């Protein structure tokens, strides 16, 4: 077979190569570069090898932040996924209620993240905030500035308020794609409400739920802006997540080497966890 060899064709991929290089490869390599070197300022760098990685992986500070992150993601997923499904199941399928529900669901998603943080920061304040003040008035000792538990409740409440809508919208899209005939057949077969959910609705939502879990896990694991605005990582280190710690280290203390090592570990963990979720859920899907 005669193929025409024309190496000029490679120029066609140049734009995308440039884009990917500038947006992903170069920044990532810069971080890799920092993670194996030490600096004392003046743009002087010294080879440090795996020293920063070792330091990170053996530091209590890193593992404590990591633990908080995992706990936060677990709680957020455990609340938002079931709650999202329940809300989606109860949304109207037709009529004027549909646009009303969809718009009110979409609203929290449209608010910039730092504004969400500001809203809750004010909302929870015990002196002027509606939530904080009301809780105080009914005799609950609530103060997210001093109490680690209250700070967690506030941060989780904020995330649930902000992101449950995403799960709802995804599930709703899955639900409305189910043809009426399925519900009719279920009625004929005498299926209970639970059986309809278990054998018709849940299987049809399977794919969108996979997307919802992946998105919510990644986003919650990388959370930064909202808790930073509300609690600034406090009280103490109670709500200092990996990303907040990372910024403290890199920008606050200018420890570029350890921060870079931490970024890489952080990145690898997110990659790994996403891969695990994806594999588990798609395998489960294929088995059936």
Binding residues (CB under 8 A) for another protein: these are 179, 181-182, 184-185, 187-192, 195, 199-200, 203, 288
CB of 179 to another protein, least distance (A): 7
Between 206 and 237, name the residue whose CB sits nearer to another protein: 206
Closest to 274 measured CA to CA, from 198, 220, 200, 202: 220
Query: Considering beta carbons, is residue 186 or 211 the nearer one to another protein?
Result: 186
How far is it, in rounded angstroms, from Cα 139 to Cα 36?
54
> Residue 104 or residue 184: which is nearer to another protein going by CB?
184
Nearest residue (CB) to another protein, 7 versus 192: 192
Comparison of 136 and 207: residue with beta carbon closer to another protein:
207
- Whether the CB-CB separation of 128 and 122 falls below 8 Å is answered with yes
Contact between 233 and 146 under an 8 Å Cβ cutoff? The reply is: no
Q: How far is the CB of 274 from another protein (least distance, A)?
A: 25
CA–CA gap between residue 288 and residue 281 (Å, rounded): 12
- Residue 214 CB, shortest distance to another protein, in Å, is 21
Least distance (Å) between residue 190 CB and another protein:
4
Question: Nearest approach, Cβ of 202 to another protein (angstroms)?
Answer: 8
From the CB of 94, what's the least distance to another protein, in Å? 12
Nearest residue (CB) to another protein, 195 versus 251: 195
């Amino acid at each position: 077979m005669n193929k025409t060899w024309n190496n000029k064709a490679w120029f066609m991929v140049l734009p995308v190569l440039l884009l990917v290089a500038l947006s992903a490869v170069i920044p990532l390599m810069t971080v890799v570069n920092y993670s194996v070197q030490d600096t004392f300022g003046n743009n002087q760098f010294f080879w440090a090898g795996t020293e920063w990685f070792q330091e990170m992986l053996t530091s209590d500070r890193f593992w404590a932040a990591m633990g908080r992150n995992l706990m936060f993601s677990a709680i957020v997923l455990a609340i938002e996924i079931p709650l999202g499904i329940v809300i989606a199941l109860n949304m109207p399928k037709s009529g004027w209620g549909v646009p009303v529900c969809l718009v009110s669901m979409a609203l929290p998603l449209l608010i910039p993240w730092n504004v969400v943080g500001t809203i809750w920061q004010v909302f929870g304040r015990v002196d002027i905030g509606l939530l904080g003040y009301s809780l105080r008035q009914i005799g609950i000792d609530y103060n997210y500035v001093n109490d680690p538990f209250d700070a967690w409740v506030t941060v989780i409440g904020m995330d649930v308020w902000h992101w449950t809508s995403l799960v709802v919208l995804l599930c709703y899209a899955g639900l409305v794609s189910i043809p009426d005939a399925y519900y009719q057949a279920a009625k004929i077969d005498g299926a209970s409400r639970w059986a309809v959910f278990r054998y018709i609705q849940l299987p049809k939502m399977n794919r969108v739920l996979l997307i919802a879990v992946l998105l919510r896990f990644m986003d919650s694991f990388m959370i930064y802006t909202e808790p930073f605005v509300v609690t600034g990582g406090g009280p103490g280190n109670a709500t200092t997540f990996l990303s907040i710690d990372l910024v403290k280290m890199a920008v606050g203390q200018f420890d570029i080497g350890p921060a870079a090592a931490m970024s890489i570990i952080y990145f690898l963990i997110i990659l790994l966890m996403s891969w695990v979720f994806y594999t588990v859920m798609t395998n489960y899907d294929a088995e059936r």
